[in-house]
Amino acid sequence: MKKWWPIFIIIFILCIDFWNWNKSEPLILFMPYWMWYVFTLTLIIAVSFAIFAKYEWREND
């Protein structure tokens, strides 16, 4: 469990897109950059939690 907290802290910090606040030009398929950023970050969070749940989550017996 202790090795996972830095990964989730880094993902949390990346959720704040402070370096791209004033940009709104389209990047791919006429969607703004921030929408692709949020989509990609959501996938990263989902995969990270799935791996965490598979290998580190223990049932209380």
**In this predicted model, what pLDDT tens digit does every residue of 41-52 receive, in sequence order?**
999 999 998 988
pTM passes above 0.85: no
- Residue 53 corresponds to which tokens in the numbers above? 């749940």
Query: How far apart are alpha carbons 20 and 25 in whole angstroms?
Result: 11
Strand ranges in 1-61 using DSSP code E only, listed in sequence order: 26-28, 31-32
pLDDT at 47: 92
- Cα separation, 52 vs 29, in Å, equals 33
* pLDDT at residue 55, rounded to an integer: 84
Q: What is the mean pLDDT of the chain?
A: 80
